[in-house]
A and B are shown apart, each in its own frame.
Chain A
Amino acid sequence: MADKKLRLAVLMAGACGGCDMAIVDISETLVDVLPSLEVVFWAPTVADVKYKDLEAMPDKSIDVGLISGMIRLDEHEHMCKVMRAKCNVIVAYGACAAMGGIPGMANMHTKEEIFQTAYFDTFSTDNPEGVTPQPSYLLDGKYDLTLPTFYPYVRPIQSVIDVDFFLGGCPPHHSVVLNALVAILKGELPPKGSWITNGKAVCDVCVRNPRNTDEKREMVKEVRRTIDGDPDENKCLLQQGYMCLGPITQGDCGALCPKVNIPCAGCGGPIPGVKDFGLRAVSAIASLMDNEDLVNQIPSPVKLFYRYSLPSSMLGKKVKKV
């Protein structure tokens, strides 16, 4: 490890906070790493520093910046650009930052539709004057109030700034975070623009894989949803008809979800060599099906296959009718 402390910044863009929790979850081991880390910025969640403090720091003065969350507001875009200017290495940290994540499914709807539901249609909404968030408002003729602008679509952070490394997971498993931090501390990093990953698929590390249990792999005979009864705890989930995305997802998590009877949803990001997660999932899953009818039984394919990756997919959003 280097003699001087590694200066670390953590920014939460459009995220839920789970990724920040994953860093805290390193717990005891974090204490081992902490002496070599100096957290200069961790907002808005952990440290009491403001955006203007980061803006005031000299350019390239921070060694590593972790950004979690996607770009939904102009505030997110602005802060990502500030982070890029201040940090030498930027890591897109977690599924949202790298691929758009769960909030990315909003790209199936326009901003107007989202506002309509959120501010008018929901059962608990009481909005007789029809007020929606405005970027600026003059209160009492003298107080100039502002809110960040809501962008029409969700974008992953690499569409706004240059990203050096990607880290998958929703949130990333704390061991993955620790490995990445140690790799950064030691300077043992993959080429720029790649994922910090072991390069294996979830199936590769999954104990249910027929290859690991010496069973013969067969075609999928039925399509089942997780609400349709309990899966056999020892058999491959795909083999039983549950739409598990293990074949195309990075297995840095150690197949945590399949271990507890939950099909992989693809938060780890695509395995190396895959350009578009959802389309490769279509390719893999469809080829495993026993007959054509089964394919039509798969519920809501876009939201199933693009659960974490719609904004970073080749199409990116729903094409609007003219």
Chain B
Amino acid sequence: MSEWTPNLIVFACNWCTYQGADLAGSLRYDYPSNIKIIRVPCSGRVEPEFVVEAFKRGADGVFIGGCHPGDCHYKEGNYKAIRRFDLLKRILLDMGIETERFQLEWISGSEGKRFAEAMTTFEKNVRELGPCRVKEGV
């Protein structure tokens, strides 16, 4: 068997983080190749169910990227996202899932470099934690 690589899911908001990822590509910044980006209309669209489903199906880490506060295309989607994120993080912690596996960050369309850096740090943190045991089932 080859060395284990973390399976990472990134929910990227269409208006900011997805554009940021695009820019990171255009500017040829390096970031880990084992992230899988799922484009969502808004970080507020990410239901807690999506996050847990990702973990259940084998993700080792889940990252949500949204617009900076005040920049949301839908005015307050990212405020809803952070409230859900804070609460879900407490639930995941109580259920035995390390908080480093679940991250939320604000990355705008012009922050290609920041996207690449955030992905690198996220990948490194999850790699240190090792595989997530949720997928092994009940």
Whole-angstrom distance between the alpha carbons of A190 and B48 in the complex? Answer: 29
Q: Are B84 and A302 in contact (CB-based, < 8 A)?
A: no
CB proximity of B64 to chain A, nearest CB, Å: 13
User: For the complex, is A321 an interface residue (Cβ under 8 Å from B)?
Assistant: yes
List, in ascending order, chain B residues with CB within 8 A of A279's CB. Answer: 47-49, 52, 88, 91
Give the complex CA separation of A22 and B138 in angstroms.
31
Question: How would residues 110 to 132 of chain A score, 1 for a CB under 8 Å from any chain B CB and 0 otherwise?
Answer: 00000000000000000000000
Contact status A292-B96, CB under 8 Å: no
Q: In the assembled complex, which residues on chain A have CB atoms less than 8 Å from the CB atom of B94?
A: 108, 300-302, 318
Binary B-proximity of A217-260 (CB < 8 A = 1, otherwise 0): 00000000000000000000000000000000000000000000
A-B contact count (CB 8 A): 83
CB of B9 to closest CB in A, whole Å: 15
- What count of chain A residues pass the 8 Å CB interface test? 32
Consensus secondary structure, chain B interface: helix
Interface size class of B (residues with CB under 8 A): 20 to 34
Q: How far is the CA of A301 from the CA of B87 in the complex (A)?
A: 8
Residue of A nearest to B94 (CB): A302
How far is the CB of B127 from the nearest CB of chain A, in Å? 16
A319 and B96 within 8 A (CB):
yes
Cβ–Cβ contact A289 & B134, under 8 A: no
**B73 interface residue (CB < 8 Å to A):** no
B48 touches A283 (CB 8 A): yes
Q: Kindly state the separation between the CA atoms of A253 and B129 in the bound complex, as whole angstroms.
A: 45
What residues of A have a CB within 8 angstroms of the CB of B52 in the complex?
Answer: 276, 279, 314-315
Contact A314 B49 (CB under 8 A): yes
In the bound complex, do residue A322 and residue B48 qualify as a contact, i.e. CB atoms below 8 Å apart? no
B90 within 8 A of A: yes
Asked whether B82 is an interface residue with its Cβ less than 8 Å from the other chain, the reply is: yes
Are A302 and B83 in contact, with the CB atoms below 8 A? no
In the assembled complex, the CB of A90 is this many whole angstroms from the nearest CB of chain B, namely 22
Q: Is A317 an interface residue (CB 8 A)?
A: yes
New A-B contacts (6) at CB < 8 Å, excluding given A286-B88, A319-B96: A155-B138, A276-B48, A289-B83, A315-B52, A315-B138, A317-B95
A-B contact pairs, 18 of them (CB 8 A): A276-B49, A276-B52, A279-B48, A282-B84, A283-B49, A285-B87, A289-B83, A295-B87, A300-B94, A301-B87, A301-B91, A302-B94, A314-B49, A314-B53, A319-B95, A319-B96, A320-B96, A322-B133
